[in-house]
Structure 1
């Protein structure tokens, strides 16, 4: 009998070579129930190896989901610039929602010394950033932990959101396009982001320029207008035009200013 670990390894191999594989096909191949296959897919998804799609299929490609630890060092100056601009929008007395991800985590870091804020988050890194901030009240959204993104997702997090509203919502993104919105590796994460956007008076998507116009996965967050894309000055002007033509507000910040400030503090 094939062990669960061996079955998941074979599922990963098949999906890597075949691209799309349905739950039904995998169930028949391994002679197990569809629910068993779905559990296998959920585990592989949480490990960042697979990207679930609608209809029970899964897509594995040349773009495995990077872990939060891997993403923190990517486009560092750009993310810091985006985070500083976003922090400048937050006013004392506001209630804000911070999504998961490295760029939103940089925003949490930028807010650590503030006071009079209420921050709600599903993200482990944001909780760690703000745990010792006496002027910030932190509410955590519980649920199922996705280890690869270090965020909580699922029905418990969604139920908690239904009882809250926010002055500002800051969302992260694996990628973002003008026509389809935020691209993510996991459907549960897209569902949560959609609910987050509905609960905010102002919604911002924080995405460095490398993520614009990309489609690495098959799960999408459709955002109702208005919302604001915050990106860096390395963005392709054509991409910026596409977002603005779609009615999306765009803020372009300079990562060079952050680098200059860092050098000034060091000297």
Structure 2
């Protein structure tokens, strides 16, 4: 069996757990015509990647909303993400030292930064940002190591946190899976949230990049609370009531107009 077939089977297992609830090893073995030991290896891999929770004899979805892969999210709200990236780019001064989080909108910012002169230094745990900026003229690039999360194409954990403790930044650009005026910014697990909070503490300015559909969304249960002075960069289709609620918490709001392309 090829690695592509194994990846496809694991994706199907995640979708099945999300749609049908807890799934058993024996049932999955029959459904996919593979041995129970193969299914157990699949479940172990999916659990290690943070996509499923193991149960006795099987697995279940972690939350009511399954975390989707970065590749799948890249094409969502693409025009809004380009607009947000273009506006965020204006907050990066020549010679600045900045920190790029994981996520498709931050990756769009990395793409926008490519080719911009000025000796900008970028540190990031995101392989997507590394791929966008590797070899880019005028960009000095540092990659934070750690435990690799395939879903987000990024590193998390103690090694990434230890690296951050030895650096400071003019600004950080954070991604998020959801935005709540009351709760803050949302991620799939506590390890990601802990890293975001450390990124924010090591940075003079904090920008959260999120297109309008993420405002009011709470797909997961790990949150980083808003701090006064943080800035949300979103698009002009955002709900005005939600934006007012954020401003009431001393969050600056920047609205990105549509791009011309």
- What TM-score range do you get, normalising by the shorter chain? 0.7 to 0.9
**Whole-Å separation in 2 of the counterparts to 1:208 and 1:127:** 22
**Whole-Å separation in 2 of the counterparts to 1:45 and 1:241:** 39
Correspondences of 1:144-223 after superposition (within 5 Å)? 144-223=147-226
SS at match of 1:170: strand
Deviation at 1:127, TM superposition (A): 0.2
Instruction: Report the equivalent of 1:76.
Output: 78
**Whole-Å separation in 2 of the counterparts to 1:13 and 1:127:** 33
Shift of the 223–245 alpha-carbon distance from structure 1 to 2, 3 Å rule, reads: closer
Q: CA RMSD in A?
A: 2.5
**Whole-Å separation in 1 of the counterparts to 2:45 and 2:223:** 17
Which of the residues 234, 250, 254 maps onto 1:231?
234
Instruction: Report the equivalent of 2:21.
Output: 17
Correspondences of 1:1-267 after superposition (within 5 Å)? 13=17, 17=21, 43-44=46-47, 46=49, 48-49=51-52, 60-115=62-117, 116-255=119-258, 258=259, 261-262=260-261
Shift of the 159–42 alpha-carbon distance from structure 1 to 2, 3 Å rule, reads: farther
**Whole-Å separation in 1 of the counterparts to 2:240 and 2:231:** 16
Deviation at 1:180, TM superposition (A): 1.1
Normalised by the length of structure 1, the TM-score is 0.78
Contact persistence 1:67–1:149 (CA under 8 A)? yes
Task: For residues 198-250 of structure 1, give each alpha carbon's deviation from its aligned partner in whole angstroms, at most 9, with x where no partner exists.
Answer: 01100000000000011110111124221000100111111111101111111
215-224 or 85-94, larger mean C-alpha shift: 215-224
Instruction: Report the equivalent of 2:8.
Output: none
- Show structure 1 runs of 5+ residues with no match: 1-8, 19-39, 51-57, 263-267
Aligned positions, number: 224
